[in-house]
């Protein structure tokens, strides 16, 4: 494979940033605090936020100055605080601050999460020479992503759909050596079992979520949209794809469809399919590995996605 990995690693740098997930657990970095929900047990309390909440309540109900500086020394449900107002002898006077369950705040923590990047690539011969370009771009992107895998806590999988069915070329892995071996066996040519490619990608993600519920999947689909091999008998390919896309939308999975059709109006309308999936849409006529890397980076950083950049 004639691929310049160093050049690839220089592009799409956002893909290497570590995603983080908010967790309801007692491990992870303390990011902020929140009030306890009704009936919630007072565990992993944020003492600083709890004291501020109690002080605020006291200030609102009494006449203590809002600039009160607190020096905490907890004793049961009371906290002794130092008021900036001096006593008669010139020293700072201690006041008592009562903390009630209504003041309790819990720590909200974040920790790095594993990212699963599934690349589903149209390996059919519907675009002639364009098929080989897609394969080369996919191989380059997979290897570049794996070079970053340790830093970004990500794993990469590759599904190729061509012929009568889709093939899981590379199961989820962080191994570059394994990827190089498997990518040499990547099939190309034949018909376009688009629906099977989506279905097998979804299966990979579902299995990984069962093993690791905290995993955050990213699905990238590269195709010209010329689907012609249905999953089932008697179902129009178009309808089958749209139904499957709706299921993926409700999974939910952060997705991007990369449209590599040479001309508009051929096969499945990729933009419509992306809308049905709730996925991003990217039109590319000359696919390069950097297009895939940039799509990964933008999907991870997309506002409202399950990810948060560190």
Q: What is the pLDDT of residues 265-293, one digit of tens each?
A: 555 688 999 999 999 998 887 788 888 88
**Domain of residue 100, residue span:** 29-109
Q: Which two structure tokens, joined as six digits, stand for 82?
A: 């130092």
Query: So what's the pLDDT on residue 259?
Result: 87
CA distance 103 to 98: 10
| DSSP secondary structure code for residue 86 in this structure | E
Query: So what's the pLDDT on residue 208?
Result: 93
Tell me the backbone φ, ψ of residue 230, rounded to 5 degrees: -75, 160
Query: So what's the pLDDT on residue 57?
Result: 85
Q: What is the pLDDT of residues 161-207, one digit of tens each?
A: 988 899 999 999 989 888 888 888 777 788 889 999 999 999 999 99
CA distance 177 to 151: 17
234: Cβ contacts below 8 Å, ≥ 6 apart? none
Considering the domain architecture, whether residues 137 and 279 belong to the same structural domain is answered as: yes
Pair 280, 295: CB distance under 8 Å: yes
Q: CB burial class (10 A; 0-12, 13-18, 19+) of residue 211? A: exposed
Residue 307 lies in a domain: no
Considering the domain architecture, whether residues 47 and 66 belong to the same structural domain is answered as: yes
Considering the domain architecture, whether residues 297 and 162 belong to the same structural domain is answered as: yes
Considering the domain architecture, whether residues 11 and 141 belong to the same structural domain is answered as: yes
Residue 310 lies in a domain: no
Q: Which two structure tokens, joined as six digits, stand for 115?
A: 């990212």
Q: What angle do CA 293, 172, 246 make, to 5 degrees?
A: 75
Pair 141, 158: CB distance under 8 Å: no
Among the candidates 79, 109, 139, a domain finishes at 109
Query: So what's the pLDDT on residue 128?
Result: 63
At 178, which CATH number? 3.40.50.410
Query: So what's the pLDDT on residue 26?
Result: 66
Considering the domain architecture, whether residues 216 and 251 belong to the same structural domain is answered as: yes
Residue 156 lies in a domain: yes
Q: Which residue has the tokens 């809308």?
A: 275
Q: What angle do CA 128, 131, 135 make, to 5 degrees?
A: 165
Query: So what's the pLDDT on residue 196?
Result: 94
CA distance 68 to 65: 6
**Strand ranges in 49-164 using DSSP code E only, listed in sequence order:** 74-75, 78-86, 92-98, 105-112, 115-122, 154-162
Q: How many domains does the chain have?
A: 2
Considering the domain architecture, whether residues 191 and 80 belong to the same structural domain is answered as: no
Q: Which residue has the tokens 């369950």?
A: 101
Q: Which residue has the tokens 């570590």?
A: 18
Considering the domain architecture, whether residues 88 and 100 belong to the same structural domain is answered as: yes
Residue 48 lies in a domain: yes
Residue 181 lies in a domain: yes
Among the candidates 64, 91, 109, a domain finishes at 109
Residue 127 lies in a domain: yes
Considering the domain architecture, whether residues 42 and 99 belong to the same structural domain is answered as: yes
Q: Among candidates 18, 17, 12, 14, which has minimal Cα distance to 294? A: 12
Considering the domain architecture, whether residues 47 and 175 belong to the same structural domain is answered as: no
Among the candidates 89, 109, 129, a domain finishes at 109
Considering the domain architecture, whether residues 53 and 195 belong to the same structural domain is answered as: no
Query: So what's the pLDDT on residue 159?
Result: 94
Considering the domain architecture, whether residues 83 and 120 belong to the same structural domain is answered as: no
Considering the domain architecture, whether residues 238 and 104 belong to the same structural domain is answered as: no
How do beta strands 115-122 and 29-35 pair? unpaired
Residue 82 CA neighbour count, 13 Å, CB half? 9
Q: Which residues of the chain have pLDDT under 70?
A: 1-27, 62-95, 111-112, 127-130, 150-152, 263-268, 301-310
Sheet holding 280-283, edge to edge: 165-173, 154-162, 115-122, 216-223, 254-259, 280-283
Containing 229, the helix (H) or strand (E) segment is none
Q: Which two structure tokens, joined as six digits, stand for 111?
A: 């920790």
């Amino acid at each position: 494979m004639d691929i310049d990995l160093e050049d690839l690693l220089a592009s799409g740098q956002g893909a290497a940033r570590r995603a983080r997930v908010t967790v309801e657990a007692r491990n992870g970095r303390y990011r902020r605090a929140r009030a306890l929900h009704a009936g919630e047990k007072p565990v992993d309390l944020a003492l600083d936020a709890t004291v501020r909440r109690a002080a605020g309540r006291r200030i609102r109900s009494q006449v203590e100055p809002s600039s009160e500086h607190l020096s905490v020394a907890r004793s049961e449900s009371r906290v002794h605080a130092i008021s900036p107002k001096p006593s008669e002898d010139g020293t700072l006077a201690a006041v008592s601050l009562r903390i009630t369950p209504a003041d309790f705040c819990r720590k909200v923590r974040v920790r790095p999460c594993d990212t699963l990047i599934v690349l589903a690539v149209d390996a059919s011969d519907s675009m002639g020479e364009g098929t080989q370009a897609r394969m080369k771009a996919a191989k380059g992107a997979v290897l570049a992503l794996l070079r970053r895998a340790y830093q970004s806590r990500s794993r990469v999988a590759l599904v190729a759909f061509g012929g009568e069915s889709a093939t899981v070329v590379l199961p989820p892995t962080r191994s570059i050596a394994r990827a190089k071996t498997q990518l040499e066996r990547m099939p190309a040519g034949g018909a376009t079992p688009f629906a099977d490619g989506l279905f097998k990608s979804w299966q990979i993600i579902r299995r990984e979520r069962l093993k690791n519920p905290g995993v955050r999947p990213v699905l990238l689909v590269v195709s010209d949209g010329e689907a012609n091999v249905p999953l089932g008998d008697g179902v129009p390919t178009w309808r089958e794809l749209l139904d499957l896309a709706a299921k993926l939308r409700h999974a939910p999975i952060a997705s991007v469809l990369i449209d590599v059709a040479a001309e508009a109006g051929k096969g499945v309308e990729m933009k419509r399919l992306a809308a049905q999936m709730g996925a991003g849409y990217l039109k590319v006529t000359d696919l390069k590995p950097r297009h895939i890397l940039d799509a990964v980076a933008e999907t991870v950083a997309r506002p409202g996605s399950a990810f948060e950049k560190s």
